Amino acid sequence: MADFDAQATYDDASNDYEDASRDYWQYLSVRAVEQARLAPGNRVLDVPCGAGPSVIAVAERVGDTGSVLGVDFADRMRAIAAEKVAARGLHNVELRAGDMTALGLDPASFDAVLCVLGIFFVDDMEATVRSLYALLKPGGRLVVAVLGVDFFSPMRDVFVDAVAAVRPDLEVQQPWRRTEDPDQLRALFAAAGIGPVDISSATDALPLPSAGDWWRIVRGTGLRAALTSLTPSEADAVRDRCASYVGEHGVAEVVLGTHIAVAGA
């Protein structure tokens, strides 16, 4: 999206993203891989691959006779992914810098294509979904995972209100809201001329041991972009407001909604 710099945001957030994702959204990558129904020997594309949770899960499933290509334009994210790959001694992984809207890959060359938490960042989602689908071999599967209406509820709204309190002129950009409803996601695939599509939805309650854990989520997600427009004192005020809410309301968990769309055989 033109008004949300995903590359800069996630390069800046890479370490915080990796830290928070293990507890709060990495499980979505595992679910997406399960939906791909991979077999040994499959060739798989993961874009954007981020810090590599899907890449690792895919590589272990397809085995030495298969392969996975992970593409992301955030250099620091790919560096974290590369460290994971090396630590596991995986030799069936390639990580590549690239823009998911201009991959330059051969059509009909992958058994599965995964797009986890990425489609809502591109301006033309319809064209991007269509181009990803074109990369599938006959019988292949496109798996697109997005976030739902519940985005770390109730704390997302607390954060947005806290930002508005200190900076009424600043809008918190939330690109993931473009696909937060399953009907929006289904309409996207229909507009791209892809069907049928199967959409599964889930709502997960995730422990929030402390207000500090909420700030880990803020710094590791796209909410971080709003912080870059705040002065240090304004950011501190937002953090304090969020912490007060957690304490006053006894918030011990956050709720995250997700949708996974699968198209293909």
pLDDT digits (tens, 9 = 90+) for 16-41: 778 888 899 999 999 999 999 999 99
What is the pTM (predicted TM-score) of this model? Answer: 0.92
What is the arithmetic mean of pLDDT over 184-205?
96
Domain ranges of the chain: 6-264
Q: Which CATH number fits domain 6-264: 3.40.50.150, 1.10.1780.10, 1.10.10.10, 4.10.520.10?
A: 3.40.50.150
Q: Is the pLDDT of residue 11 over 50?
A: no
Considering the chain, what percentage of its residues have pLDDT values greater than 70? 94
Q: Is the pLDDT of residue 87 over 50?
A: yes
What is the arithmetic mean of pLDDT over 136-147?
97
pLDDT (0 to 100) of residue 14: 60
Measured CA distances, 52 to 89, 142, 230 (Å): 14, 18, 30
Q: Is the pLDDT of residue 263 over 70?
A: yes
Alpha-carbon distance of 180 to 150, in angstroms, equals: 8
Q: Is the pLDDT of residue 10 over 70?
A: no
Q: Are 19 and 220 in contact (CB under 8 A)?
A: yes
Considering the chain, what percentage of its residues have pLDDT values greater than 90? 87
pLDDT (0 to 100) of residue 20: 87
Q: Are 217 and 242 in contact (CB under 8 A)?
A: no
Q: Is the pLDDT of residue 242 over 60?
A: yes
Q: Is the pLDDT of residue 194 over 60?
A: yes
Q: Are 118 and 145 in contact (CB under 8 A)?
A: no
Q: Is the pLDDT of residue 130 over 60?
A: yes
**What's the whole-number average pLDDT of the chain?**
93
Alpha-carbon distance of 167 to 230, in angstroms, equals: 8
What is the arithmetic mean of pLDDT over 64-84?
94
What is the arithmetic mean of pLDDT over 168-185?
95
Rg value, the chain, Cα: 18
Alpha-carbon distance of 72 to 116, in angstroms, equals: 12
DSSP state of 57: H
